[in-house]
Structure 1
Amino acid sequence: MSFAEQLARLQVFLDADDLHEEALDYIAAHGYLTALCICPEPVPEREWIDALFAEPPHYSDDTEREAIEATLVQLKAHIARQLASDEDMDLPCEPTLGDEPDESELRGWCIGFMEGVFMREEIWFEDAEEEVSELLLPIMVGSGLFDDQPEFSDIAADAELVGEMAGQIPELLTTLYLICHAPEEKPALLKPRRH
């Protein structure tokens, strides 16, 4: 089965109505996995898979469970490769909130991303708090999770600004990834002199 076919099967599984109401659908799961790839500290596989579903799904058998979990792991690796390349991230939805933000796929993606951040929130801001906060702002705005906070409700009221921020998300992901994963410059080791 090709990766595209595996993804199609994963999408059908995650978008089914019989999953727990707090489980992430395919678009939100993509955002969630993207955040996990950017997170400076790896989150154990079992932990993030269990959190994604909120409670164990009703798989038809172990083969289905293994296939779904393996595809999630492959999708995460695929996203990590995209982030590590110099190209802007390919989102599984348009980077726009449209006229009905609550109905937009991007909102779901941003909510999923923030779920990934919340798993290790303190680690995200450990090294470059200001830069990371600034880069996360468009995703936080896109998620709608913070709209009850005054500084966010002011931004949310400005449709043009929100639209601009949404459009920046694919490119800022690469920058976030680099901030969280760029090796710190180490002093060059002194080479032993040859006699």
Structure 2
Amino acid sequence: TAAVVGPVQLPTEEIMTICLADQTLNDMDYELEHLAACIEAIKAELGECLSEGESIFLPFEDEDELYDDALNSWCAGFVEGMLANETQWFSKDEEVSAELLLPYMALSGLFDNEDF
């Protein structure tokens, strides 16, 4: 989501690198092609939702018993995507950007700081 809504549109290959981190895939060609296709589909769906003024779809429901874990994981992914281009995210109005991103950063669990 950060790659679609952010100030820099990340190419699919860069999103894949962020998603995989240090992981490797078993059947590299097939799995990488499948992952790239999934990322492209998600990017298209997010772009369509946002251009129509709709809320974005999160991959879980409020009623799911693991809602908090799913929300934390989603926020962690969003923050990882944001950090890939942190300079651009904060280049225009750092204070406003920080204020808007604080909930995602706090829920991500990526920061070991009591302020979050």
Tell me the TM-score normalised to structure 1 length. 0.51
How far the C-alpha of 1:84 sits from its partner, in A, is 2.5
Identity %: 36
User: In the alignment, which of 42, 61, 73 is matched to residue 75 of structure 1?
Assistant: 42
Tell me the TM-score normalised to structure 2 length. 0.80
Find the counterpart in structure 2 of residue 150 from structure 1: 114
- The structure with the larger Rg is 1
> What is the identity, as a one-letter code, of the residue corresponding to 2:57?
D
Answering whether residue 73 of structure 2 is matched by residue 108 of structure 1, we say yes
Find the counterpart in structure 2 of residue 58 from structure 1: 26
Structure 1 residues 134, 105: CA separation in 2 closer, same or farther (over 3 Å shift)? same
The runs of at least 4 consecutive aligned structure 1 residues that moved more than 3 Å come to 61-65, 98-101
Structure 1 unaligned blocks of 5 or more: 1-33, 153-195
Structure 2 unaligned blocks of 5 or more: none
CA deviation string 1:74-107 (max 9, x = no partner) = 11121122122212222112469x8995xx1101
CA distance in 1 between counterparts of 2:109 and 2:40 reads 28
CA distance in 2 between counterparts of 1:91 and 1:67 reads 20
SS at match of 1:151: coil
How far the C-alpha of 1:65 sits from its partner, in A, is 3.3
How far the C-alpha of 1:67 sits from its partner, in A, is 3.0
Count of residues in correspondence between the two structures: 114
SS at match of 1:88: coil
SS at match of 2:115: helix
Higher relative contact order (CA 8 A, sep 6+): 2
CA deviation string 1:28-47 (max 9, x = no partner) = xxxxxx01111211223222
Aligned CA RMSD, in angstroms, stands at 2.5
CA distance in 2 between counterparts of 1:138 and 1:105 reads 15
Structure 1 residues 43, 99: CA separation in 2 closer, same or farther (over 3 Å shift)? closer
